[in-house]
């Protein structure tokens, strides 16, 4: 074995107090910048679009530097915020998008003892070889390629020690930042709903036994489609904080053209991904809810590989049925039905009036992604139209609030719009959507 498995300290296991001080310092700087900008605007000295762009770009860069170095819940939240492209300023989400890329890994020597403790035996009795350099690194852990004693090529997902201890402190400080800086323009109660759902998802994601369960359940659900590949779990080499799975390589969504994929191949992959997510939502009632671009890979034979089942949303059957009815009402242009359905979903606020024309505008805009003629997603400006609608109807935001039933599902759908854009898919998804909603 080329790796010596030296013991060492994890660089990420800072105490909650140390992490709090780091986040507090960042928050104070950002809130100060925002306050200074507001004072200048009030005095009539500065309120240009360029000035706002510069402010949000600078805020994003500060958040990227701090959250990326801290890893854990702090970095994960930054990744989630980067996907709120229809809510947050474009300059901010563009800056935060860099958190989606691989973060600097820890040396394996800093994690070897931790892995042995989790597996309950020496590494030499588990693996022939472990690559000392990480194959990938993310917010709450990193992945190393390895070979089992039986010769199987696998990846070992290792959770950073101490991550769980810092979740509540990280989220509390970041929630305060978003509220004080006005970065997420919503009521305090709505922010609490969002952060409660994020906290629940993060705690689930830290339980690798639960993730293994999700991966095996999802693999069984997709067993009739050999084009959906979900890596096999090695239970005997896994624990609550260590997950060993079959190594299943594939190409990144942004690299398909340079890897020689034809447009027909790309379109086929887009259809397979679309159907998989739709079937998970409406038939399986469990959906992979982390549309991070690194969690999906593709092959020229039309296969879609799905990684990382840490964030899986369980959807109650009655909620899935309401989501189906909402989708049908939008497809059939019945805006008057949407109001009542959104009340049932817990998205609409009682006592607030919303004109039917608003639902008509949103239905017509969103349904552009599900046309009878192929949509060229790489050139789609749907996200800009949605942002424009949100700004036009900003006075009606108080009539709606986030729901724990739909928050992660919305994140999934919005995230895969960007997946389709990055892939360069040209496809008409309406027939597939109709099939999924009808039960096929």
Instruction: Kindly compute the dihedral angle of the four CA atoms of residues 179, 312, 97, 379, in this order, to the nearest 10 degrees.
Output: -120
Which pLDDT score, from 0 to 100, does residue 173 have?
A: 84
Tell me whether strands 228-229 and 141-148 are parallel, antiparallel or unpaired.
unpaired
* pTM of the complete model: 0.82
Distance CA 152, CA 367 (A): 45
Which pLDDT score, from 0 to 100, does residue 51 have?
A: 61
Which pLDDT score, from 0 to 100, does residue 1 have?
A: 37
Which pLDDT score, from 0 to 100, does residue 2 have?
A: 36
**How distant is the alpha carbon of residue 266 from its chain centre?**
22
The CA distances from residue 45 to 40, 41, 53, in Å, are 5, 6, 16
Q: Is 365 left (phi over 0), alpha (psi -120 to 50) or beta?
A: alpha
Q: Which of 433, 75, 49 is nearest to 275 (CA)?
A: 433
Tens digit of pLDDT at every position of the chain (440 positions): 333 333 334 344 467 778 888 888 888 888 888 877 765 555 454 555 556 778 888 888 888 888 887 877 788 888 877 777 666 777 888 888 888 765 678 889 889 999 999 999 999 999 999 999 999 887 888 999 999 999 999 999 999 888 888 888 888 888 888 777 777 667 778 788 888 888 888 888 899 999 999 999 999 999 999 999 999 999 999 999 999 999 999 999 999 999 999 999 999 999 999 999 999 999 999 999 989 888 999 999 999 999 999 999 999 999 999 999 999 999 998 988 999 999 999 899 888 899 999 999 999 999 999 988 999 999 999 988 988 898 888 888 889 888 888 988 998 999 999 999 999 999 999 999 999 999 86
Contact between 31 and 177 (Cβ < 8 Å): yes
Q: Which of 263, 221, 275 is nearest to 426 (CA)?
A: 263
Contact between 124 and 147 (Cβ < 8 Å): no
Contact between 313 and 280 (Cβ < 8 Å): no
Quick count: other Cβ atoms within 10 Å of Cβ 373? Answer: 7
Contact between 31 and 179 (Cβ < 8 Å): no
The DSSP H or E segment spanning 114 is helix 112-119
Give me the residue label for tokens 């009606």: 396
For the chain, give the number of residues: 440
Boundaries of every domain in the chain: 1-248, 250-440
Distance CA 157, CA 105 (A): 12
Alpha helices in 332-429 (DSSP H): 335-345, 356-366, 382-392, 407-423
Distance CA 40, CA 24 (A): 24
Q: Which residues lie below 8 Å from residue 84, measured CB to CB, with a gap of 6+? A: 93, 184
The CA distances from residue 379 to 88, 131, 370, 376, in Å, are 21, 40, 15, 6
Which pLDDT score, from 0 to 100, does residue 5 have?
A: 33
């Amino acid at each position: 074995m080329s790796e010596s498995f030296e013991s060492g300290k994890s660089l990420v296991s800072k105490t909650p107090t140390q992490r709090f001080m780091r986040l507090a310092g960042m928050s104070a700087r950002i809130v100060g910048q925002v306050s200074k900008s507001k004072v200048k605007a009030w005095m009539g000295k500065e309120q240009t679009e360029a000035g706002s762009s510069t402010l949000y770009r600078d805020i994003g860069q500060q958040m990227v530097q701090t959250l990326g170095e801290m890893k854990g819940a702090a970095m994960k939240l930054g990744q989630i915020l980067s996907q709120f492209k229809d809510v947050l300023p474009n300059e901010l989400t563009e800056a935060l998008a860099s958190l989606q890329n691989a973060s600097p890994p820890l040396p394996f020597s800093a994690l070897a003892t931790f892995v042995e403790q989790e597996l309950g035996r020496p590494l030499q009795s588990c693996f022939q070889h472990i690559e000392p350099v990480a194959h990938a690194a993310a917010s709450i852990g990193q992945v190393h390629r390895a070979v089992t004693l039986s010769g199987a090529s696998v990846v070992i997902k290792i959770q950073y020690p101490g991550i769980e201890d810092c979740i509540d402190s990280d989220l509390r400080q970041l929630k305060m930042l978003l509220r004080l800086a006005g970065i997420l323009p919503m009521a305090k109660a709505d922010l609490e709903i969002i952060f409660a759902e994020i906290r629940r998802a993060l705690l689930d994601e830290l339980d690798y036994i639960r993730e293994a369960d999700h991966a095996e359940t999802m693999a069984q659900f997709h067993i009739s489609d050999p084009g959906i590949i979900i890596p096999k779990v090695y239970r005997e080499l896994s624990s609550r904080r260590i997950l060993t799975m079959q190594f299943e390589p594939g190409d990144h969504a942004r690299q398909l053209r340079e890897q020689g994929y034809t447009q027909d191949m790309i379109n086929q992959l887009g259809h397979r991904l679309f159907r998989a997510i739709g079937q998970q939502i409406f038939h399986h009632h469990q959906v992979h809810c982390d549309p991070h671009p690194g969690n999906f890979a593709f092959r020229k034979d039309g296969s879609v590989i799905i990684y990382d089942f840490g964030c899986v949303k369980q959807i109650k059957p009655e909620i899935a049925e309401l989501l189906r009815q909402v989708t049908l009402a939008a497809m059939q242009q019945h805006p008057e039905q949407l109001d009542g359905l959104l009340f049932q979903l817990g998205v609409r606020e009682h006592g607030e009036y919303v004109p039917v024309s608003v639902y008509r505008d949103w239905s017509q805009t969103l349904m552009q992604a599900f046309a009878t003629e192929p949509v060229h997603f790489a050139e789609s400006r749907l996200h800009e139209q949605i942002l424009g609608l949100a700004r036009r109807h900003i006075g009606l935001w108080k009539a709606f609030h986030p729901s724990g039933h739909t928050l992660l599902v919305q994140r999934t759908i919005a995230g895969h719009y960007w997946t389709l854009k990055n892939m360069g898919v040209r496809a008409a998804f309406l027939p597939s959507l109709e099939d999924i909603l009808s039960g096929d």
